[in-house]
Amino acid sequence: MGRVAVIGGGASGMMAAVTAARLGAKVTVYEKNDRVGKKILVTGNGKCNFSNRDFSERHYYGDRKKLKVFFDRFSVEDAVDFFIRAGMLVKDKGGYLYPWPEQASAVLEILRMEMRRSGVKTELCADVKRIGNEKGNGLWTVYFGTEKAEHDAVILACGGCAAPKTGSNGDGFALARKLGHRIRPVVPALVQLRCKDHFLKITAGVRCQAKIGLYEEKKGGIRELLQEEEGEVQFTDYGISGIPVFQLSRQAAYLIEEGKAAAVSIDLLPQMDRQEFEEMCGQRMENAYDRTLEEFLLGLANKKINLMMIKEAGHKPADEAGRLGEKRLKKLLYGYKELWVHIDAANSFDHAQVTAGGVELDEVTQNLESEKRPGIFFAGEILDVDGRCGGYNLQWAWTSGYIAGKSAAQRCQKQGGKTEKKNGRQRE
């Protein structure tokens, strides 16, 4: 049996390594950090939301037809089965899956144990700078530091650019590019959005339930709705955050990248439909005559939001509401259904959970093997696949890691383990 190199000891690389080793390949994981799986420890706020029972390809961006084929080969059930067989109990929180102790370290330790048990070798502090097959003998040479080693197959599992402190700083894209692969432009995803609006200084720190819509702002004041999300929005002094913001951040980031204008409309009263809202406005205005503006808005939203609304409309909290007149009061109230923020940028990769873009899927086979360079495989975030928040990105790491690991081991079998034969001859 031949040798498989896995470049990157993250979630996808470790799954690939275990899978290939279980099929008999001699596997070495090359990891530039001094330990594997650094990123896993920070996932799900340290609890690791490793998959989700509410599963479909709709939760992903990328070629969904191709993705279905991949997920049919290694599904959520398969991932759960993998961890349960290894000894990890699973907690299901409304479909969101976690290790039973809700400690990300449990997932990492299970993967490390399985690597050890299946005989995977780990080269730490091994920053791979080049992969070549200059000899034309069907083998790939991995260059790390001052050393090199030959392999029958190489799996690129270097991650993307998100959270570079964990090791994934875009190096994998450079390696893939050198091998002749096209990289779809990358942007940060599942990340906070930075906004131009100065009123955010007042609302910083507020968290509230809201429905938000991402719009492209076109010429002539035309706005096109691209995506809607609902959940807890967090206002920061530079912009907006929270799960619903993360979910639409990728589309916003691409709009900005393409030089387009993006805005988000925030409905601060998502529990009310238009009619209920109009009725509420009517009742409130009937009671306006003996109230200050601050009192008029009391109970509608967080106090900081109310004060911001008053200030933005050019009034003062102590102004008499009754004196404003129906039109201006209505305008003030309508702001709660449609508060606009204008997007400046997505926060940087330092703050992002994933990378959108990457090695284009139409240049890899159904076995995640390079169409251009047989023997080179890809797994994880390095590929042009990213998912919504909720365990979908780690599920992609497990699925793609499994497929790449299995396919690499099968290539070794087909090749008859050239590296082994060669080393055997050398020893003789």
Ligand X SMILES: Cc1cc2nc3c(=O)[nH]c(=O)nc-3n(C[C@H](O)[C@H](O)[C@H](O)COP(=O)(O)OP(=O)(O)OC[C@H]3O[C@@H](n4cnc5c(N)ncnc54)[C@H](O)[C@@H]3O)c2cc1C
Separation between Cα atoms, residue 29 and residue 167, nearest integer Å: 14
Separation between Cα atoms, residue 169 and residue 357, nearest integer Å: 14
Burial class (CB in 10 A: 0-12, 13-18, 19+), 219: exposed
Q: How far is the CB of 70 from ligand X (least distance, A)?
A: 14
The interaxial angle of helices 104-117 and 76-86, nearest 10 deg, is 70
Contacts of 375 (CB under 8 A, 6+ apart): 133, 138, 139, 140, 152, 153, 154, 369, 411
Identify which of residues 90 and 300 has a Cβ nearer to ligand X in the complex: 90
Tokens found for residue 270: 């998502």
Give 416's Cβ-side CA count (13 Å radius): 3
Identify which of residues 98 and 215 has a Cβ nearer to ligand X in the complex: 98
Identify which of residues 127 and 278 has a Cβ nearer to ligand X in the complex: 127
Q: How far is the CB of 405 from ligand X (least distance, A)?
A: 12
Identify which of residues 36 and 263 has a Cβ nearer to ligand X in the complex: 36
Question: Which sign, positive or negative, has the C-alpha torsion 41, 46, 52, 56?
Answer: negative
Identify which of residues 76 and 212 has a Cβ nearer to ligand X in the complex: 76
Exposed e or buried b for every residue in 264-300, given b needs 16+ CB within 10 A?
A: bbbbbbeeeeeeebeeebeebbeebeeebbbbbbeeb
Q: How far is the CB of 4 from ligand X (least distance, A)?
A: 15
Q: How far is the CB of 364 from ligand X (least distance, A)?
A: 14
Q: How far is the CB of 277 from ligand X (least distance, A)?
A: 35
Identify which of residues 13 and 375 has a Cβ nearer to ligand X in the complex: 13
The interaxial angle of helices 64-73 and 392-415, nearest 10 deg, is 70
Q: How far is the CB of 215 from ligand X (least distance, A)?
A: 27
Question: Which sign, positive or negative, has the C-alpha torsion 197, 199, 201, 203?
Answer: negative
Which residues form the interface with ligand X (CB under 6 A)? 7-13, 30-33, 38-39, 42-44, 48-49, 126-128, 157-159, 162-163, 166-168, 171-172, 353-354, 380-381, 391-394, 397
Q: How far is the CB of 51 from ligand X (least distance, A)?
A: 7
Identify which of residues 11 and 307 has a Cβ nearer to ligand X in the complex: 11
Question: Which sign, positive or negative, has the C-alpha torsion 41, 46, 47, 52?
Answer: negative
Tokens found for residue 207: 């968290």
Q: How far is the CB of 267 from ligand X (least distance, A)?
A: 27
Identify which of residues 26 and 38 has a Cβ nearer to ligand X in the complex: 38
Identify which of residues 27 and 157 has a Cβ nearer to ligand X in the complex: 157
Q: What are phi and psi of 160, to 5 degrees?
A: -110, -125
Q: How far is the CB of 250 from ligand X (least distance, A)?
A: 13
Identify which of residues 60 and 254 has a Cβ nearer to ligand X in the complex: 60
Q: How far is the CB of 178 from ligand X (least distance, A)?
A: 11
Identify which of residues 128 and 310 has a Cβ nearer to ligand X in the complex: 128
Separation between Cα atoms, residue 98 and residue 43, nearest integer Å: 10
